[in-house]
C-alpha cells in the first residue's frame, strides 16, 4: 500500500476528510520552508503539496505567483525542491508529499531523471497543470516505473467524455478544481459542488480532493461533508507572506492549519 493509499484508508475508517495544505518550495527560503513543512505535518496536515516554482504559472493567482517569484529569487531549482523532500523525510516517513507545478521545469530537468530523483527523494505523486492525457506518455512511463502517482485535475467545465478520460488516467486521487479560473481568485461554494463531486464519483473509485477557492474553516467543514480531502493553498501562502520572519511564518501556518483541521470530521 502506498503512502497515499494508506492515509485515505485510515481516514475513511475515522470518517474524516484529509487536509492537504499547499506551500511553495523555497518561499521565502529553504530554512523557512523546512520549518513550515515540519509544522504542517505535526499540526494537522494529512498530505502536503509543495509547489515547484515556475516563471509562467498559468493556473495561479497573484498570491501563488508572488510566492513563486520569491522562491525563484531565493534560488529555488528542481534539485533543491528534492533536497527539501529528502530533509522532510528524515522526520516524517508516512506523510505523502505531492509536487504541484508545470511540465516545463520537468522537461528541462529531464523526464526520466526527474521521476527517478523525485521517487528517491520521497515524493509520492505529481499534479501537473499543463500535462493533458493526450501528452502524458511524455512522462507517465517513467512515473510508473518508480511508483509515482499522477493526480489529475478535473474542472467544473469538464464534459462527460473528458471527465471519463481524466478519471481513467488518474492515480493516487483526483483533484477537483472547485471554481473556474485561477487559484485564490474566487471562493468555493459547497452547495454547487456536492452534485459535481457525485458526478465525478460515477467515473472513479479514487478519493476526490477539492481545491481552489477554499479559504476558511467553515468552507473546509462544508467541503469535508462530501469530499475525501480539502486542499488549501492561497489562503495559507498569504497568511505566511503577511507574517514577518521565519518564526512568525511558522506560527501563522500552525495556527491556520490547526483551525482548518477542526472541520474535517463528518461525525
Strand partners, 51: 24, 100
- pLDDT of 191 higher than 80: no
Q: What is the pLDDT of residue 248?
A: 98
From 27, 46, 60, 238, the catalytic residue: 60
- pLDDT of 181 higher than 60: no
- Among 48, 54, 4, residue whose Cα is nearest residue 22: 48
Percentage of the chain modeled with pLDDT above 90: 85
Asked if 50 and 76 touch (Cβ cutoff 8 Å), the reply is no
Beta strands 125-128 and 149-150: pairing type? parallel
- pLDDT of 178 higher than 90: no
Average pLDDT over residues 142-159: 93
User: Binning pLDDT at 50, 70 and 90, where does residue 185 land?
Assistant: very low
- Grid cell in block for residue 115: 521521476
Q: Is 168 designated active site?
A: no
| Sequence-distant (≥ 6) Cβ neighbours of residue 173 within 8 angstroms | 4, 8, 149, 151, 206, 207, 208, 209, 228, 229
| Sequence-distant (≥ 6) Cβ neighbours of residue 255 within 8 angstroms | none
Asked if 169 and 126 touch (Cβ cutoff 8 Å), the reply is no
Strand partners, 174: 152, 208
Asked if 45 and 3 touch (Cβ cutoff 8 Å), the reply is no
- pLDDT of 22 higher than 70: yes
Q: Is 60 designated active site?
A: yes
Q: What is the pLDDT of residue 77?
A: 97
Percentage of the chain modeled with pLDDT above 70: 95
From 49, 117, 124, 228, the catalytic residue: 49
User: Binning pLDDT at 50, 70 and 90, where does residue 188 land?
Assistant: low
* Domains of the chain, start order: 3-261 (3.20.20.70)
C-alpha span between 77 and 219 (Å, rounded)? 33
Beta strands 125-128 and 97-101: pairing type? parallel
Cβ neighbours, 10 Å, residue 144: 13
- pLDDT of 183 higher than 70: no
Q: What is the pLDDT of residue 190?
A: 58
- pLDDT of 258 higher than 80: yes
C-alpha span between 156 and 184 (Å, rounded)? 16
Task: Write phi, then psi, for 97 (nearest 5 degrees).
Answer: -115, 125
User: Binning pLDDT at 50, 70 and 90, where does residue 184 land?
Assistant: very low
Phi-psi region of 129 (alpha: psi -120 to 50; beta: other; left: phi over 0): alpha
pLDDT one-digit tens code per residue, 196-253: 899 999 999 999 999 988 999 999 999 999 999 999 999 999 999 999 999 999 999 9
Amino acid at each position: 500500500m502506498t503512502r497515499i493509499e494508506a492515509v485515505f484508508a485510515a481516514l475513511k475508517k475515522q470518517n474524516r476528510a484529509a487536509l492537504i495544505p499547499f506551500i511553495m518550495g523555497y518561499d521565502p527560503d529553504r530554512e523557512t520552508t523546512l520549518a513550515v513543512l515540519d509544522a504542517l505535518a505535526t499540526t494537522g496536515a494529512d498530505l502536503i503539496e509543495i509547489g515547484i516554482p515556475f516563471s509562467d504559472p498559468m493556473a495561479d493567482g497573484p498570491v501563488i505567483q508572488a510566492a513563486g517569484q520569491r522562491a525563484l529569487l531565493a534560488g529555488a531549482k528542481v534539485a533543491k525542491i528534492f533536497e527539501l523532500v529528502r530533509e522532510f523525510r528524515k522526520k516524517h516517513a508516512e506523510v505523502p508529499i505531492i509536487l504541484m507545478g508545470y511540465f516545463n521545469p520537468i522537461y528541462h530537468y529531464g523526464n526520466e531523471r526527474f521521476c527517478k530523483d523525485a521517487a528517491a527523494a520521497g515524493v509520492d505523486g505529481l499534479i501537473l497543470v499543463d500535462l493533458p492525457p493526450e501528452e502524458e506518455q511524455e512522462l507517465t512511463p517513467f512515473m510508473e516505473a518508480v511508483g509515482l502517482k499522477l493526480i489529475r485535475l478535473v474542472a467544473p467545465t469538464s464534459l462527460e467524455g473528458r471527465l471519463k478520460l481524466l478519471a481513467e488516467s488518474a492515480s493516487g486521487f483526483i483533484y477537483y478544481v472547485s471554481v473556474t479560473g485561477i487559484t485564490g481568485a474566487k471562493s468555493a461554494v459547497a452547495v454547487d459542488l456536492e452534485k459535481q463531486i457525485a458526478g465525478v464519483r460515477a467515473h472513479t473509485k479514487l478519493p476526490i480532493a477539492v481545491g481552489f477557492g477554499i479559504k476558511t474553516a467553515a468552507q473546509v467543514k462544508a467541503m469535508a461533508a462530501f469530499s475525501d480531502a480539502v486542499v488549501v493553498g492561497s489562503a495559507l501562502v498569504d497568511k505566511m507572506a503577511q507574517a514577518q520572519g521565519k518564526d512568525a511564518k511558522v506560527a501563522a501556518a500552525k495556527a491556520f492549519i490547526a483551525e482548518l483541521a477542526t472541520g474535517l470530521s463528518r461525525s
